Amino acid sequence: MLKSWEAAYLAGMIDGEGTISFKNIDSKGKRSPVITISSSDLKMLVYIQSILNGSLSSKKIIITERTTYLYSLEIKMRESVYEALKQIQTFLHADIKKQEVDSMLEQFNPRIRSILPPKNASKDMLLKEAY
**110 pLDDT band (50/70/90 cuts)?**
low
Least confident window among 14-18, 57-61, 103-107, 123-127: 123-127
Q: What is the pLDDT of residue 131?
A: 37
pLDDT in tens, 26-43: 777 777 889 999 999 999
Question: In Å, how far are 32, 105, 117, 123, 126 from 120, measured between CA atoms?
Answer: 19, 20, 8, 10, 11
Question: Which DSSP helix (H) or strand (E) runs through 37?
Answer: strand 31-39
**127 pLDDT band (50/70/90 cuts)?**
very low
Q: Is residue 86 one of the residues assigned to a domain?
A: yes
CB atoms within 10 A of CB 125: 12
Q: What is the pLDDT of residue 128?
A: 41
Q: Is residue 131 one of the residues assigned to a domain?
A: no
Q: Are 18 and 36 within 8 A, CB to CB? A: yes
Which range of residues forms the domain containing residue 21? Answer: 4-126
Q: What is the pLDDT of residue 126?
A: 43
Q: Is residue 14 one of the residues assigned to a domain?
A: yes
Task: Check residues 22 and 5 and name the one with the higher pLDDT.
Answer: 5
- CATH number of the domain encompassing residue 95: 3.10.28.10
Task: Quote the number of domains for the chain.
Answer: 1
Residue 99 is classified by DSSP as H
Count Cα atoms within 13 angstroms, Cβ side, for 63: 6
